[in-house]
Copies of this chain bind each other. A is one copy, B any other.
Amino acid sequence: MKKATMNDIARKANVSQTTVSRVINDHPNVNSEVRKRVNQAIKELDYLPNKAAQTLKSNSTHLIGVSVPEIPNPYFANLISELENEARLSGYSILLQNSGYNPMTEIENMDIFLSRQVDGIIYVPTSDYSLQKIRSLNIPTVAVTLPIASLDSVYLNHALGGSLAANHLIKQGHTHFGILTQKYATCPKSKGFMHELYIQGMDTENVTVIDIDSYALNRYQIREEVNRYFNTHEKLAFTALFCSNDGAAHDAIHAAREHGIRVPEDLAVTGFDDTFVAKINKITSIHQPLEEMARTSLKIIFDRIAHPQERAPLDIQLTPSIIVRKSSTG
C-alpha cells in the first residue's frame, strides 16, 4: 500500500490541502467540525506527514546533529543518552555521528549535518584542526564538554572539580599527593587540584605527576604508564592519587593492588566524571551534571533558532559535585 499524502487526506475529508496542513500544524482558524473530519481521515489512512517535504518548505528539520569522538565510552554514551532524551522532549531527533578523534571525519560530519539541514549541532571538541570549518558553519552550534573560543560552550568547571577532590583528600588527612592525568600542562582539573592544595597550605612542590601525553582515552597506555611508575618506585611518595577520569582511576586501583598496595588503606584514589565505572567499582568521583549539560546545550540552540540575531557566544560552566565512595575513605 502506498503511503498516504496530504492530498489523499484532503480528498477523503473533502477539503483543500491547505486546510489539512492547517489542521496538522494546529493553526487556530479551522472550523472544529472540519478539523474533526480531517483528523478522522488522518487516522483512517494512517497518515504521517513527510518530513522531507516539510523541511523543504519550512527550512526546519527538527534534527540535531551530534558529533562525538567515541560512542562506547561511558561518558559520551551517557551524554548521548541525555541529549536524545532532552531533544525528544522538544520534538527533536538526534543524528549521531562518531568522529574517532579524527579531524577529517569531524569535517565530514559537519558536511553531513549541513547536507541534511540539521537545525543545530552539538559538537564535542577534540583537536583544533577542524575548528575553522566548525566556526564557519551557519547553524547554531554548541561546543560541549570543553570551551571553544567564539563558539557557544557548555562544560564542567573542571578546575572546581579538581579542587573538590583535593579538598576531600585533605580532609581525609592526606598530605602527599599524586596526579594521574593526560596532558598535564594544559589540564584544568589538575590545575584546580593543585590550586586547592596551595590554598590549604599543602606541599605543592612534591606532588607526583604521572602524565600521559595523549588526548584520546587510551586505556592501554594509561595502564602502561601506571605500571611503569609502580615498578620503578619501591615506596610510594604519596598516599592519595587524583585521577583525571574514572577509567584511569580504575586502572590505577588495579595496578596498585597488583603491586600489593591496598586501596583505600595504603592509597586513596579519586576519579573524575562519575561514570558507572566509578559507581560499580565504588570509586570516589567528581560528578558531571550531564542532564543539565544536555538541557543547557539544546536550550542554547533553540534560543539561537528563535532569535537568529548575532550575539556574543555564551560560555557556560556547570558546577561539579563530589561523590564520595570507598576508594578514598580508609
Contact = CB atoms under 8 A, between A and B. Distances in A.
Contacts of A51: 52, 115-117
A171 interface: no
Contacts of A254: 280
Nearest to A70: B81
Nearest to A80: B71
A98 B86 CA distance: 11
A84 B72 contact: no
B84 A48 contact: no
Contacts of A77: 71-72, 74, 77
Contacts of A117: 50-52
Interface stretch (A88-96, A122-130, A224-232): A88-96
A80 B96 contact: yes
Interface of A: 1, 3, 48-53, 55-56, 61, 70-72, 74, 77-78, 80-81, 84-85, 88, 93-98, 111-112, 114-117, 138, 219, 247, 250-251, 254, 276-277, 280-281
Given A1-B138, A71-B80, A93-B96, 10 more contacts: A48-B111, A49-B115, A51-B117, A52-B56, A72-B276, A74-B74, A77-B77, A94-B95, A247-B280, A250-B280
